[in-house]
Amino acid sequence: MRVSRSEQQLAEQKGEDDKDFSEQLEGLKERERRKVLRQKKKEEDEAYALARAARRARLGLDQGGGDDDDDDEDLDDMDLSD
């Protein structure tokens, strides 16, 4: 009986260890997924900022000194199709 009890305890411990490992693996996958999404968002934001700066330069909106909210309104009102 003692041997079977030890085997049962080992099996239970292995099951708990497997469950813990699975939870840790899921946590790692979720963190990696979020990291990829943050990086993608950052790249999209940078691309948008570069495109906006290029449009502003092409339209001559960045000739003044500093950031002017009126420039943003002018840009929004303009037809930017080429």
Phi-psi region of 79 (alpha: psi -120 to 50; beta: other; left: phi over 0): beta
Average pLDDT, the chain: 82
pTM, two decimal places: 0.52
In the predicted model, is pLDDT for residue 1 greater than 90?
no
Residue 76 lies in a domain: no
Count how many domains the chain has: 1
User: Chain-centre distance of CA 24, in angstroms?
Assistant: 20
- Domain presence at residue 71: no
Percent of the chain with pLDDT over 70: 71
Look up the domain containing 22 and give its range.
2-59
Flag whether 21 is in a domain. yes
Is residue 79 included in any domain, yes or no?
Answer: no
Region for 34 from its dihedrals, namely left if φ exceeds 0, alpha if ψ lies in -120 to 50, beta otherwise: alpha
